[in-house]
Structure 1
Amino acid sequence: MPDFRSDTVTQPTPAMREAMMAAPLGDDVLGDDPSVIALQQHAADLLGFEAALFAPSGTQTNLIALMGHCQRGDEAIVGQSWHTYRWEAGGMAVLGSIQPQPVEVQPDGTLRLADIAGAIKPDDAHFARTRLVVLENTTGGQVLPLDYMAAVAALARGRGLGMHLDGARLFNAATALAAAQGTDVYTAARAVCSHFDSVSLCLSKGLGAPVGSLLLGSADFIRQARRTRKILGGGMRQAGLLAAAGQYALVHQVRRLADDHARLDRLARGLQRLAQSHAVLGGRLTVLPWQTNILFTDVAADVAPTLLAWLAAHDVRVTSGLYAGATRLRWVTHLDVGDADVDAALDAVSRFDVPPTQG
């Protein structure tokens, strides 16, 4: 069954399961789980930070970071569609007493420098104190360029603000940057991280671990982050079983992300051809630009319900939602989507022959 819903549906590979079962264990709340310690040190060294912290989820590592940068009543500048603002249940406000200052996200996934600058509050008792700028990379599968991140960092540091990256799919961004620049994916990832004071990295999306995210930063920042993790209930005991999966992913499942991008490219190009030539979908299917392992396609309202029903009947799983009068389908490739799954999805769409509903 081709499952394009998300890269969060990935299952541990047999080799990853073996690594998990062989992991030496301790008590991470007491700080003596050797597998957790090894993962944290490896990730910090790999990405150019002093320290790292393993936590259950990216939602939690983002919140821990925000609470580390901001105190009660402080403000963080975020994108309107960022996970930290829209998709993490308002945790920064509910639990951190941090005011989000959302900024419109541009079609290329960036925030305008002028919009960021305009959102920074003056030192006035009437306003929340702006403390932090948050970026997301990738965002909706789009990659923020290195020179753009450098420009945002220069602006932020010039105004005395911290920089946090929601890098849930950091290595997808690095894979695309490395391919474009002819560099190594790990080198590209480290270059991305160099512009930020803290980075959240998800291990359970494209990297394929079953659970967990990392927060990276300075030693002092991570020391406080460990305390915040405890407050939020994120301390785990024999967590090395999970950390071993993350360690395996960082070593063995980063370079293979290029395969996910190649399959997404093939899927997108196939859907583009169908959008031009298909008897029913021609003129009703729009394939949006893609860069990594996430693709969005817009389907006209008169045909979307029958197409979705057709895909479900043919065991092709996607997510969908309404966007600007059309139904937007989200396709995500990952380590459990192979060439045969892409072929099956394109075949199902090509055989779609239900006429559009009458509106």
Structure 2
Amino acid sequence: MGAMPSSVIADLRSDTVTTPTPEMREAMARAEVGDDVYGEDPTVNELQAEVARLTGFEAGLFMPSGSMTNQVAIALHTRRGEEVICAEGSHIYEWELGMMAAFSGVVPRFVTAPLGVPDPEDVRLAVRHSVHQSPTGLISLENTHNKAGGTIIPLEVIEQIRAVADAEGLPLHLDGARVFNAAAALDVPLSEITRHFHTVSVCLSKGLGAPVGSVLVGTAGQMKQAHRYRKMLGGGMRQAGVLAAAALVALRDGPARLQADHRRARVLAEALAGAGYRVNLAAVQTNIIYVTLPDAAAHVARWAEHGVLASALGPDSVRFVLHHQVGDDALAGAMDVLLQDRAVAGALK
């Protein structure tokens, strides 16, 4: 990665780049702690209980990352040699380093998902029960869908896929890395989305702004087994209350800021599209924007020299992610850099 500029106007690489707020740092400093591997950290226990309550589940388990919560969920639901049905481009496959195969011994079976939304009938047709094929062990959805552009799965589609899961006797897991963004965009309580699933991974370090952590929710029995898998993966964090304290602040304060992130993403997306950038505006539903641009890495490197950071996620794909530490002034400064880039204008001709 190239050198960072001396002054960053806007860091749009991800919503994971936010730094702890003063309120989070204060909460971290005064957090009551214990050994969480023994289940004795009161602040972690409070966080787990609050996420479980918000999502409508019996229990939760705090882990360092969403990749870990997803992979623990896969291990809970499957046996070696089975398949996991998931939408094309799903994070559990694209960015979790083959861990479903390495840890659980299972493989993905993809279904097409325009704008990140799989057709329930395609999900049904992907189920395998034959002795001649790898059986299906789990159906997994991602909401919002990162690689599709931060897109939302409509509630009626989730309901229909849950009906498929029930009819086929299969568990349904949600990778809810940005499920709070989905709830904000739909203007529904979080539980209105999560109640359809058997387990849910909730990330606190993306749009909500916590420095570290995700919570897996499910039944108390599932979380007892998940605790073992977390330990196997090296996820026992001991006096983790200092992290859970910041996560509690994010959980309580962060959701109210998400609609502003979505508004700014729409402003930026429309400005980029108006300047000739290739943006699928139908996919800009929350806080993520993907732009198709030749030689993406070169453009990203040049913008960084002018204080605007973005992510090149392929030879011709750039991602911008809005978050609560990019306000209106920072957004305006970033737009000045992006819209006045003559090299981009040449590439778009």
Instruction: Name the Cα RMSD after superposition.
Output: 1.8
Match of 2:21 among 13, 21, 33: 13
Match of 2:78 among 66, 70, 75: 70
Code of the aligned partner of 2:73: A
1:78 match: secondary structure: strand
Code of the aligned partner of 1:291: Q
Match of 1:311 among 300, 303, 318: 303
Match of 2:162 among 146, 153, 160: 153
Q: Residues 17-166 of structure 1: matches in 2 within 5 Å? A: 17-106=25-114, 108-124=115-131, 126-140=132-146, 141-166=150-175
Instruction: String of CA shifts for 1:116-154, please: whole Å, max 9, x gaps.
Output: 112111242x22221210000000200110001000000
Instruction: String of CA shifts for 1:125-184, please: whole Å, max 9, x gaps.
Output: x22221210000000200110001000000111110000000000101111010xxxx4x
The Cα shift of 1:357 comes to 6.9
Q: In the alignment, which residue of structure 1 is the partner of 2:288?
A: 294
Instruction: String of CA shifts for 1:79-130, please: whole Å, max 9, x gaps.
Output: 2210111210011111111222222222x21112232112111242x22221
User: Does 2:327 correspond to 1:338?
Assistant: yes
TM-score (norm 2): 0.92
Q: For the Cα contact (< 8 Å) 1:297–1:330, is it kept in 2?
A: yes
Q: Residues 212-291 of structure 1: matches in 2 within 5 Å? A: 212-275=213-276, 285-289=277-281, 290-291=284-285
TM-score (norm 1): 0.89
Task: Name the CA distance, whole Å, in 2 between partners of 1:321 and 1:246.
Answer: 28
Task: Name the CA distance, whole Å, in 1 between partners of 2:198 and 2:223.
Answer: 11
Task: Name the CA distance, whole Å, in 1 between partners of 2:241 and 2:294.
Answer: 48
Instruction: String of CA shifts for 1:199-239, please: whole Å, max 9, x gaps.
Output: 00111111111111000011111111111111111111001
Task: Name the CA distance, whole Å, in 1 between partners of 2:163 and 2:317.
Answer: 36
Q: For the Cα contact (< 8 Å) 1:306–1:356, is it kept in 2?
A: no
Task: Name the CA distance, whole Å, in 2 between partners of 1:305 and 1:77.
Answer: 32
Task: Name the CA distance, whole Å, in 1 between partners of 2:54 and 2:125.
Answer: 35
Q: For the Cα contact (< 8 Å) 2:66–2:202, is it kept in 1?
A: yes
The Cα shift of 1:305 comes to 6.7
Instruction: String of CA shifts for 1:50-73, please: whole Å, max 9, x gaps.
Output: 000001111100000000001222
Code of the aligned partner of 2:321: V
Identity of aligned residues (%): 44
1:7 match: secondary structure: coil
Task: Name the CA distance, whole Å, in 2 between partners of 1:358 and 1:197.
Answer: 46
Q: In the alignment, which residue of structure 2 is the partner of 1:278?
A: none
Task: Name the CA distance, whole Å, in 1 between partners of 2:214 and 2:294.
Answer: 37
Task: Name the CA distance, whole Å, in 1 between partners of 2:221 and 2:236.
Answer: 18
- Number of equivalenced pairs: 335
Task: Name the CA distance, whole Å, in 1 between partners of 2:76 and 2:329.
Answer: 45
The Cα shift of 1:358 comes to 12
Question: Which ranges of structure 2 fall in alignment gaps of 5 or more residues?
Answer: 1-7
Task: Name the CA distance, whole Å, in 1 between partners of 2:304 and 2:265.
Answer: 20
